[in-house]
Amino acid sequence: MDKVKQIAKMIDHSILHPTFDDEKLRKECQVALDHDVASVCVKPYAVKEAAEILKGSDVEVGCVIGFPHGNSATNVKVFETEIALQNGATEIDMVINIGKALQKDWDYVEEELAAVVAVTKRNNAILKVIFENDYMPDDSYIIKLCELCTKTGCDYVKTSSGFGFVKQENGDYNYKGATIDHLNLMRKHAGEDVKVKAAGGVRDLDYFLEVMETGTTRVGATATIAILEEAKKRFG
């Protein structure tokens, strides 16, 4: 596989902004097709149309669950997952219950993971679990989440939703997203059968290549065109 194709097949093209309408969905699915990326990542209502647009291609349809804050009850996340898979999704990106993780209610987190894993395994689908690392007080929380994802049989651990804004010292709201330190930490503590997905803040080729060096195998991106056009100039 040449370098440009390798990069393209690591990208989950994100179509998640709250303002995106159906016309934008169709446009961005075409971007995914034109660049032959790994998948699109869409909102639950959009799965059926995205699956129809991408039918017969090598671009998978991913759907977010409990997005972006992870606050849905477990049975709601299970139901959302079932509907997304029925509508044509083959990959699921689920946000953990962040509050439960912050209070170290690890039994709850594990039970929720196991419940959703049961659905994805039954349907031969992939589950990526979003931690929202910006909200985690220290690395021990991320390590514990990696261990629970490994224990329950999740397919990927994922850094961020891209919408986990934290109040900064200057009063602005922003997020770090996928940092190299966190990606290395997640690769180290997730089991060898669990892959790592970077999401949030990967906007140019140089940083994308740094992310690759950590052993990360999927990257959520909105800057897909810019990344791949630069890759073609450099490696094509």
55 C-beta neighbours (distance < 10 Å), count:
10
Q: Is 158 a catalytic residue?
A: yes
Active-site residue identified among 12, 93, 134, 155: 93
Active-site residue (options: 77, 100, 128, 158): 158
Encoding tokens for residue 159? 């850094």
**197 flagged as catalytic:** yes
CB 127 within 8 A of CB 154: yes
Q: Give CA–CA dist 126/128, Å, rounded.
A: 7
Choice among 77, 128, 195, 197 that is catalytic: 197
Calpha distance 6→23 (Å, rounded): 29
Residue 34: which residues within 8 A CB-CB, separation 6 or more? none
Distance separating alpha carbons of residues 109 and 36, to the nearest angstrom: 35
Closest of 157, 205, 154, 203 to residue 182, by C-alpha: 157
Q: Catalytic site residue 204?
A: no
**Catalytic site residues?**
93, 158, 197
